Structure 1
Amino acid sequence: MGDFAEMRVSRSDIARMAGVKRPAVTNWERRHLGFPDPVGGGDLDVFRADQVLEWLSGRTIPANALEPGEPTGATYGDRFRAALGGGRRSGGLLTAVEQLAVRDAERLRGPWRMSGYLYLLLFLVFVQSQDPERWSAYVENPGQAPRDLDFGEMSGQSQVSHLVRFLDRSPPASRGESRQAFDRLLTLFQDSDARASDEYFTPPSVSRVMAGALAGSGFAASRLHDPFCRTGELLGAYLDAVAEQGRKAPTGVSGRALGEGAQRLARMNLELHGAERPLVLLGPRLPSMPFDGDLSGRFDAVITNPPFGAVGARQAPPPHYWRYGTPRSQEFDWLQYVVSCLDAEGRAAVLMPAGAGFRGSADRETRARLVEDGVVECVMALPTHLFELTSIQTHVWFLRAPRGRPAGVLFVDGADLGGMATRTRRALSDADVDRLVRAYTSWRGTGHGGQPGLSRAVDPQEIAAQDHRLEPALYVREPLPSADAFQDRTAARNRLAQLSAQLRELHVEAEAVDGLAEERLRRYGL
């Protein structure tokens, strides 16, 4: 234990590192003759860390005081040694979060609902990373944390003490590790809260597709906005995408959240992902409803996952942004609002239900006007079963500021991508995400006609001929040839040559994806 002979610790340090309250150290010192003597004097008493470690190694932690992951027979010395020598090893916080939020969650959450317990963990991880002074105060008085969250004076104070002490012994090795831990907790919280409140948070793989495509579309956004930001997952994904591309984050990041809990989570999320002074205000379920706060001006990037479903009573007078028609659904109310938020060169990514692309009546008229005004740039189909509560298929609509004239639209059909991550949930792999992002960004960069089997650029006349249906499968998937088509040998040879050319293109694309995967593995030392 000589490694720590030169280190000095105070009574408060001993309490924190051993995971006990400060009076316990005084009690040990008074009642046990073998407790080390201080090497300082008066109010500045300090102790040799190696001597404290040796003494604590002989004191077994009672079974009812064991922390998550500690085996029976563990000693206070084990805790003290970890705090002295192993507290900042990379991955320690991630391991601790997995222990607290998954393996031991049911035992530790006590009287709280799972969503409330995870909310508290999110808050603690954020404070530990961003506010060292407040974190030190929580270590001394863990009960203050739930009061700061407006949980009030409630049962479960012993659980809070366990959580704070356990996290304090597993500090993050970097801000990146804090961000990863927060993201993991946020995914668990979203799954839990979705089941409890019918909330449709954006799945991580969908966030990466939307953000990666929008951020990689060839322009540097200075003002980024999400008018229905939920927990800030899309804004955070955009900030990550910009960072991966080696570009500066937008100088202005803002959003509106539905409720104070989501507002607080969104602010924490954005700060951890690198936003400076993000502005998150409360907002309504529909943009046509009144809301407070000033987010004046327009934005050069808007990204959002708005509510879906029928609207209620018609507004009188109609909002100024209903320039493409009176919406019958929430998604078209939101979509028209997003268009009104864009500056002259602005672009947006909006998650929409697949039905928005083919429903008739008022929705058809709105689609026609959007296409004729050059607003719709790309429609990308995603697979079903991506969300926690529903198997609904969604599309991403990429929009640009009105051009005053019709323009071609890129259709991307990713409906068959992804794989089942759980019994009921599908997820897009890293390769799937990269493929969808590149389908959009390469088209934006070169204006090519699309990639066979995945995407196709379609002119406005063809879209009009299809009754302005914006369904990627309608334009991308080729109809199966009839049996008679292969009676002509020349036609058959031509078709085989065409398929061979498509196969070569897919091989080139696969090699590019493999190269990207290898680069990311090297980045993580794998």
Structure 2
Amino acid sequence: MEPKSVSSPVGRAQVSELAHDLLRALRGLIEPRHYRVPLLALVYLRSNAPEKWKELRSSAGQHDRDGITAALQRVNTTLHWLPNHYGIPGSETLEALVEFARELDQEFPVDRSAANVPALSELFDYLVETLFAYNHDGVEYYTPWSVARTMIRIIRPSSAEKVHDPCCGVGNLLIETSRFHRERDCSVPAPQLSARALTEESLIVASMRAEFEGAAVEIGAEPENVLLRDSRAFESFDVILSNPPFGKNIQFDTSHKNDTRWRYGTPMGGDPSFAWLQHAVDKLVPGGRAAVLMGEQAGFSGGANGRIRAAMLNDGVVEAVITLPRGLFHATGISVSVWILRKRTAGESTRDEVLLIDASEMGRLVERNRRELSHEEIERIANAYRDFRTGKNTAEEGFLRAVPLEEIQERDHLLTPRGYLTGASEETDPVTIVREVRQSDARMLEVDEHARHEDSVVEYALSDSGLRSDSGLRSENLPIESGWGEITLGEVCEALAGPSGQLRKLEYHSEGVALVAPKNIHNNRIIDEGMNHIAPEQITGKLERYRLADGDVLCVRTGSPGRPALVDPSHGGALFGTACIRLRPDTSLVTGQFLTYWLGTPQAREWISRNSSSGTIPSLNARALRALPVRLPPLWVQREIGRVFGTLDDKIAAHDNVVRATAELRESLGSMLGNGMFSTSDGSD
């Protein structure tokens, strides 16, 4: 490859072409996470340590594997933050990195070191983006530049302020802060930058980037999970900037109830979102401000997160929430929001408004699935925040609004901007959708608990009745108990078919006296879904005899003859329709529960099928049904049978409710998905 002229910064297209050429030998050899740190170290070495680079290239030119390894280890010693185990792994990777070093030497000759620096810096930045942002295992380290610029221009760190990133990734937020300062005025002292890195890889890359940028950043000598142990626990800052890995299950300690960071509530163990937000507030000086990137679900999640969000809002530390467009991140379509937090000074009153901005429609496509915010869009967002801070009228339909805290409290402290802005239809209103999801979830949990209770009741009833032993249901032939008699249905109850034409003249209403039809008979019960009603004043004369009473048995007459339901107290006084037969038992001889379950036996169903008319629609008349044979036990046995079978019906009904509630929750979650609000716990697609 012929050397290119690099006397001035190269364009992005040229850098891209060069980077792809340099990476050619490594592509497909191993995963980027196994070579990206030593590869970036080579670029850093070429730019920042020419003498060490000559030593390395001399060994590489002689194809001396041991010499190359030794040279790299000496480099590691020089770059004190580059651990020895980030030397060269494996022979194939060694050869590929040596080839990378050769091509790098051709592109950037040592005798032109000063001229090479700008181009090497741009190359380094491009490689960081390529090796981290486009890989799922590195995306949590990388904050896209347009997102970083938006956060910095909202917060606007000023001269000599202490700016801290508690989980700095590859350092984009601090690098952008340094650039923001240089753009404004290099004659005044720069902000004091510091950071902590969650992983060793993050520490190494962020340190190299800071040196490339010429930014003084105190980043610590070793990686640190500040949620577990904060080496700067007693230090406060004017500005906190952070894009923490909110979607990852980061370990943190929730056992210390006196941890001052959890002043708004102990965070959920499996979700660090509100641990990061509370940590940011805790690190601020009075009057300090923070910009923290969060997954959109932080604005509507319930449970402990919802309680913490409410407490933060009520204390006035949440100043603004800005929803950003989807697709800003390279390797994931996750939807994110910027939370602007501010710690009040002593005696300062709580602000009674929160600025909500919906920028989800902003951005332009720069790649097939990736968007970027333009400079004009970033300034529009930042200016809206500054107007809010200075007390200017802040409202723009569909884009932003200063929402009274009282209104947010009425909406369960939800912080989803779109739902508060005019023009958002109720169908796609995130606040409405989230409320429906919560209600559906609560309903499902409630009916699921009830179903578990009914499961235990069934187990007890089967065991208590002697039908179940320790080894399961009894399977041996059980003798017919003494005292059982053979009778017909008409001997123990009255059978009455529904009115034949009188109901046709009546009007149905949504309220009034219930009219039970076959569609309302399900699993031995009367269900209210789809029930018609008749005005009470319309029920006169002969219609009164067609009312139901508690303990009656109602069975279907046409279509599916014999399907029964026991009338419970809530349906006493209802009317039954033409296609039903009411059985009113003589309670001195038989219970309605027993009759219901007898009608459901295979013997009874088979008899009813044989004795129903065989027309296009099978039907059964009351006279025929009265002849149904019944094997009748003593009343105490009937009650015991009713108890056991009743628990089974209760269990069936409970699990039907679970199915319906689960389907309802699925539908509600589908609305979230359709509106782009669904996010997985690990923050991936």
Task: Look up the SS of the partner of 1:380 in the other structure.
Answer: strand
Query: What corresponds to 2:24 in structure 1?
Result: 106
CA–CA separation in structure 2 for the residues paired with 1:406 and 1:385 = 35
**1:240 counterpart = 2:179:** yes
Shift of 1:100: 4.2
Closer, same or farther: CA 225–145 of 1 in aligned 2, 3 Å: farther
% identical aligned pairs: 31
1:151 aligned residue: 87
Corresponding residue for residue 406 of structure 1: 350
CA-CA distance at 1:263 after TM superposition: 0.5
Counterpart pick for 2:322 among 367, 380, 389: 380
Shift of 1:265: 0.7
1:188 Cα deviation from its structure 2 partner: 0.8
Given the alignment of the two structures, is residue 253 of structure 1 paired with residue 197 of structure 2, yes or no?
Answer: no
| Alignment partner, residue 365 of structure 1 | 307
Q: Structure 1 residue 131 and structure 2 residue 42: aligned?
A: no
Kindly state the Cα deviation for residue 112 of structure 1 after the two structures are TM-superposed: 5.0
Residue 344 of structure 1 aligns to a residue in which SS? strand
Is the partner of 2:220 in helix, strand or coil? Answer: strand
Output the amino acid matched with 1:289: L
C-alpha distance in structure 2 between counterparts of 1:469 and 1:110, whole Å: 46
Q: Matches of 1:162 and 1:153 in 2, distance apart?
A: 18
Contact 1:256 1:281 in 2 (8 A): no
Measure, in 1, the Cα distance between the counterparts of 2:312 and 2:251: 23
Q: Flag the 1:411–1:174 CA change in 2: closer, same or farther, 3 A.
A: farther
Q: How does the TM-score come out when normalised to structure 2?
A: 0.52
Aligned with residue 195 of structure 1, among 120, 126, 136: 136
Cα distance change of structure 1 residues 435 and 459 upon mapping to structure 2, 3 Å threshold: same
Distance (whole Å) between structure 1 residues aligned to residue 16 and residue 316 of structure 2: 47
Structure 1 residues 252 and 479: alpha-carbon distance in aligned structure 2, compared to 1, 3 A threshold: closer
Matches within 5 A, 1:88-237: 88-91=6-9, 97-107=15-25, 111=29, 113-142=31-60, 143=68, 146-147=72-73, 148=76, 150-152=86-88, 154-155=90-91, 156-157=94-95, 158-169=98-109, 171=113, 173=115, 176-192=118-134, 194-196=135-137, 199=140, 201-215=142-156, 219-237=158-176
Tell me which moved more, 364-373 or 140-149: 140-149
Distance 1:95 1:472 in 2: 37
**CA positional deviation for 1:372:** 2.0
Work out the CA distance in 2 between the residues paired with 1:325 and 1:203.
31
Q: Does residue 413 of structure 2 align to residue 459 of structure 1?
A: no
Structure 2, unmatched stretches of 5+, are 61-67, 77-81, 427-685
Give the distance between the partners of 1:159 and 1:249, measured in 2 at CA: 43
Deviation at 1:304, TM superposition (A): 0.5
Q: Deviations over 1:325-355 (max 9, x none)?
A: 1112201001101101001121110001111
When residues 145 and 184 of structure 1 are mapped into structure 2, their CA distance, relative to the original with a 3 A threshold, is farther
Q: Residues 419 and 131 from structure 1, CA distance in 2 versus in 1: closer, same or farther, beyond 3 angstroms?
A: same
Of the three residues 372, 395, 415, the one matched with 1:427 is 372
Whether 2:289 is the aligned partner of 1:347: answer yes
Contact 2:38 2:88 in 1 (8 A): no
Q: Secondary structure at the match of 2:327?
A: coil
What do residues 76-123 of structure 1 show as CA deviations (whole Å, max 9, x unaligned)? xxx6xx7xxx5x521359777534421452335685543454434432
Counterpart-to-counterpart distance in 2, 1:206 and 1:238 = 12
Q: Say whether the 8 Å CA contact 2:141–2:202 is kept in structure 1.
A: no
Give the aligned partner of residue 214 of structure 2: 274
Q: Secondary structure at the match of 1:195?
A: coil
Asked if 1:337 is matched to 2:284, the reply is: no
Letter in 1 for 2:20: V
RMSD: 3.1
Q: Is residue 373–residue 402 contact of structure 1 (8 Å, CA) maintained in 2?
A: no
Give the Cα–Cα distance (whole angstroms) in 2 for the partners of residues 390 and 379 of structure 1: 21
Contact 1:249–1:274 (Cα < 8 Å) also in 2? no
Which residue of structure 1 aligns with residue 529 of structure 2?
A: none
Q: 1:161 to 1:394 in 2, by over 3 A?
A: closer
Give the direction of change, closer, same or farther, for the CA distance of 1:358–1:400 in structure 2 (3 Å limit): same
Whose Rg is larger? Answer: 2
CA distance 1:268–1:315, shift in 2 (3 Å): same
**3-state SS in 2 of match to 1:443:** helix
The letter for the 2-side match of 1:411 is L
Preserved CA contact (<8 Å) 1:347 1:398: yes
Inter-partner Cα distance in structure 2 for 1:107 and 1:463: 56
Separation in 2, partners of 1:145, 1:476: 61
Give, in angstroms, the shift of residue 358 of structure 1. 1.4
CA-to-partner distance for each residue in 1:246-301, whole Å, 9 max, x for gaps? 2546453211112222101111112223322533344445x43235x446411111
Change in 2 beyond 3 A, CA 1:460/1:239: same
Deviation at 1:141, TM superposition (A): 4.3
Cα separation, 2, equivalents of 1:221 and 1:345: 15
Residues 195-225 of structure 1 deviation map (CA, whole Å, 9 limit, x = unaligned): 3456352122111111222126xx5452111
Structure 1 residue 380: Cα displacement:
0.5
Partner of 1:30: none
Q: Which residue of 2 aligns with 1:488?
A: none
Letter in 2 for 1:134: K
Shift of 1:431: 2.7
Using the size of structure 1 for normalisation, the TM-score is: 0.67
Partner amino acid, structure 2, of 1:214:
I
Determine whether 1:303 maps to 2:244.
Answer: no
- Cα pair distance change 1:440/1:125, threshold 3 Å: farther
Are the aligned partners of 1:239 and 1:249 in contact in 2 as well (CA < 8 Å)?
no
Distance between the aligned counterparts of 1:378 and 1:153, measured in 2? 47
Q: Which residue of 2 aligns with 1:397?
A: 339
Preserved CA contact (<8 Å) 1:172 1:178: no
Give the direction of change, closer, same or farther, for the CA distance of 1:445–1:238 in structure 2 (3 Å limit).
Answer: farther
For structure 1, the residue ranges without an aligned partner over 5 or more in a row are 1-68, 71-78, 482-526
Shift of 1:446: 5.1
CA distance, structure 1, for counterparts of residue 349 and residue 310 of structure 2: 12
Distance 1:270 1:445 in 2: 34
Amino acid at match of 1:213: I
Whether contact under 8 Å (1:93, 1:167) holds in the other structure is: no
- Residues 439, 274 of structure 1: alpha-carbon distance in 2 compared, 3 angstrom cutoff: farther
Moved more, 306-315 or 469-478: 306-315
Indicate conservation of the 8 Å contact 2:354/2:402, yes or no: yes
Correspondent of 1:316 among 247, 255, 271: 255
Q: Which amino acid aligns with 2:108?
A: D
Q: Distance in 2 between matches of 1:468 and 1:110?
A: 49
Q: Indicate conservation of the 8 Å contact 1:255/1:281, yes or no.
A: no
In structure 2, the CA distance between the partners of 1:282 and 1:104, relative to structure 1 (3 Å rule), is closer
Q: Aligned with 1:390: secondary structure?
A: coil
Change in 2 beyond 3 A, CA 1:457/1:294? closer
Q: CA separation of 1:322/1:95 partners in 2, compared to 1, >3 Å: closer, same or farther?
A: same
